[in-house]
Amino acid sequence: MFSTDFAQYDSVSSKEFKDSVWAVLEVTGKPNVADFFPILKPFDLQGLVRRENVYGKKILTIFDRIIDQRLQTRLSSSVTPTNNDVLDLLLNLSLKDEPKLTQNDMRHLFYTLFIAGTDTTSSTLEWAIDELIHNPEKLQTARSEIIKLMENNKKNIQEQDICQLPYLQAVIKETLRLHPPDPFLVPHQAIHDVEIHGFMVPKNVQILCNVWAMGRDPKVWSHPKEFMPERFLEVKIDYNGQDFELIPFGAGRRMCPGLNMAQRICIAFDGGILVVCRVGVALRIIKGVKWWQMTGEVVVAFGGDVMGEVLLAVGGDV
Ligand code: HEM
C-alpha cells in the first residue's frame, strides 16, 4: 500500500504498528454490552471505545508519519518520485488543483483497509491450512494441482493463473463456508419496515446476519461439518454476493470491496505454503509460531529462502 515492510518483527515501528492493529481488532471483535442496552453507551463500561481510541490514534500517527515522509521526499526531489503504490496514487489526487482528498481522508482510508483487510485474510489462511493438515489427502490434491501448474508454466505462476487452480479455489470457498472471519457480517440497520418471508423487520432495528450458521445448515449443505472442497467443483456456488447460501463477504452495495484482493492473497499464500512445506513441518509451524508472526515471515519466505530459517527456528526439518 505504501511500500513499507511491516513484516519484520524485530523493527520497533512495525512491532508497534502490528500490536496496535491487533489491539484494535481485539476490542472491535469483543461483544459490547452497550450494543444490547444502548442506554449504557455513554459509560463505556468495558472500556472498549476508550481502548480503540488509544490504539486507533497510534495507528493514525504512524500513517501520518509515512505520508509526511513521502511528501518530504517529493519536495526534495526535482522529478516526482513514484513508488507506484496506493499512497502515490492518493497523493497525486490530493495534490491536484481542486483536491477532493485530504491527508485526513487518506489516513482514515488506510485505517479502514488495514482493520478490514488483515485479520479477515490471515484467519482464512490459518483455517485453510489447519483444515488441510487435518485432511492430508485433500492437502495432497491441492499441492499436486499447484505443482502440476508450476511444471506446465516452468515454475512461473502469475496472479492470472489462479483460475487454473480450481481445487485451491474450492479450498478457500470451503474454508470461508465453515469459518467466516465475520460470522455475523457487519451490523446493518433497516431504513424502513420490511417483510422477509413472513418476518417483519421493523425500521431502525439492528440486523446481524449469521453466516456461520448458514454455512453449516444441513438443509443447504450435505455433511455440513465436514471439510469437503470437492462440493464446490460439482456445483456453481460463488461468494460474490449472488448465491445467498455463501456470503462471507456480504452481499449488495455494502459488500466487501476487498473481495478480489482477499481471494488472490488467500490463494497465493496458501499455494505458496503448500509448495514449500511438508505436512508435518506445517503442523509444527502452526503449533510453534503465532500466526500473526508467521504471516509476516511468509511474506518474506515466498520469494526466497527465509522459509527454511523460519522452519528451523521452530524445529522444522526442511
Ligand atoms: C477473507 C477476507 C475477507 C472477508 C471474509 C471480508 C469480509 C467482509 C465483510 C463481511 C464486510 C461487511 C459487508 C457488509 O457490510 O455486509 C467487509 C467490509 C469491508 N471490507 Fe472486507 N473482507 C475480507 C478482506 C478484505 C480486504 C483484503 C480488504 C481490503 C484491503 C477489505 C476491505 C473491506 C472494507 C473497506 C469494508 C467496508 C466496506 C463498507 O463499509 O462499505 N476486506 N468485508
Residue 250 pLDDT class (50, 70, 90 cuts): very high
The boundaries of the domain holding residue 205 are 119-276
Whether this model's pTM surpasses 0.85: no
Give the list of residues 6+ apart from residue 120 with CB closer than 8 angstroms, or none: 181, 182, 258, 262
Residue 152 pLDDT class (50, 70, 90 cuts): confident
**DSSP summary character for residue 157:** -
**Gyration radius (Cα) of the chain, Å:** 22
Give the list of residues 6+ apart from residue 298 with CB closer than 8 angstroms, or none: 269, 272, 273, 307, 310
Residue with CA at minimum distance from ligand 1 atom 36:
256
Testing ligand 1's pocket by substitution, the residue of 121, 256, 267 carrying the most ligand atoms inside 8 A of its CB is 256
Cβ atoms of 210 and 184 within 8 Å: the answer is: yes
Tell me if 137 is assigned to some domain.
yes
pLDDT of res. 309: 32
pLDDT of res. 78: 72
124 lines ligand 1 (CB under 6 A): yes
Q: What is the per-residue pLDDT across 296-317, written as a single tens digit (0 to 9) for each?
A: 333 223 322 333 333 333 333 3
Top-confidence residue, 179 or 95: 179
Cell numbers that stand for 171 in this block: 479450498
Does 183 score more than 70 pLDDT? yes
Residue with CA at minimum distance from ligand 1 atom 38:
256
Tell me if 230 is assigned to some domain.
yes
**DSSP summary character for residue 73:** H
**DSSP summary character for residue 188:** E
Residue with CA at minimum distance from ligand 1 atom 17:
256
Tell me if 83 is assigned to some domain.
no
Tell me if 91 is assigned to some domain.
no
For residue 192, give the CATH number of its domain. Answer: 1.10.630.10
Residue with CA at minimum distance from ligand 1 atom 27:
117
Centre of ligand 1 to C-alpha 63, Å, is 20
262 lines ligand 1 (CB under 6 A): yes
CA–CA separation, 63 vs 70, rounded Å?
A: 11
114 lines ligand 1 (CB under 6 A): no
Q: What is the per-residue pLDDT across 15-54, written as a single tens digit (0 to 9) for each?
A: 888 889 889 988 988 888 988 888 999 999 999 999 999 9
For the CA of 124, the closest atom of ligand 1 is: 1
Centre of ligand 1 to C-alpha 234, Å, is 27
Helix axis angle for 86-94 and 103-134, nearest 10°, is 160
Tell me if 173 is assigned to some domain.
yes
Tell me if 109 is assigned to some domain.
no
SS (H, E, C) 190-224: CCCCEEECCEEECCCCEECCCHHHHCCCCCCCCCC
Tell me if 111 is assigned to some domain.
no
Cβ atoms of 198 and 215 within 8 Å: the answer is: no
Does 286 score more than 90 pLDDT? no
Centre of ligand 1 to C-alpha 256, Å, is 4
pLDDT of res. 277: 62
**246-to-19, 163, 208 alpha-carbon distances in Å:** 32, 19, 15
pLDDT of res. 313: 31
Location of C-alpha cell 446476519: 209
1 lines ligand 1 (CB under 6 A): no
Q: What is the per-residue pLDDT across 70-98, written as a single tens digit (0 to 9) for each?
A: 888 888 877 666 677 889 888 888 877 67
312 lines ligand 1 (CB under 6 A): no
- How many folded domains does the chain comprise? 1
Mean pLDDT of the chain: 82
Tell me if 195 is assigned to some domain.
yes
Residue 161 pLDDT class (50, 70, 90 cuts): confident
Top-confidence residue, 250 or 310: 250
**104-to-44, 62, 111, 207 alpha-carbon distances in Å:** 26, 13, 11, 30
Top-confidence residue, 272 or 40: 40
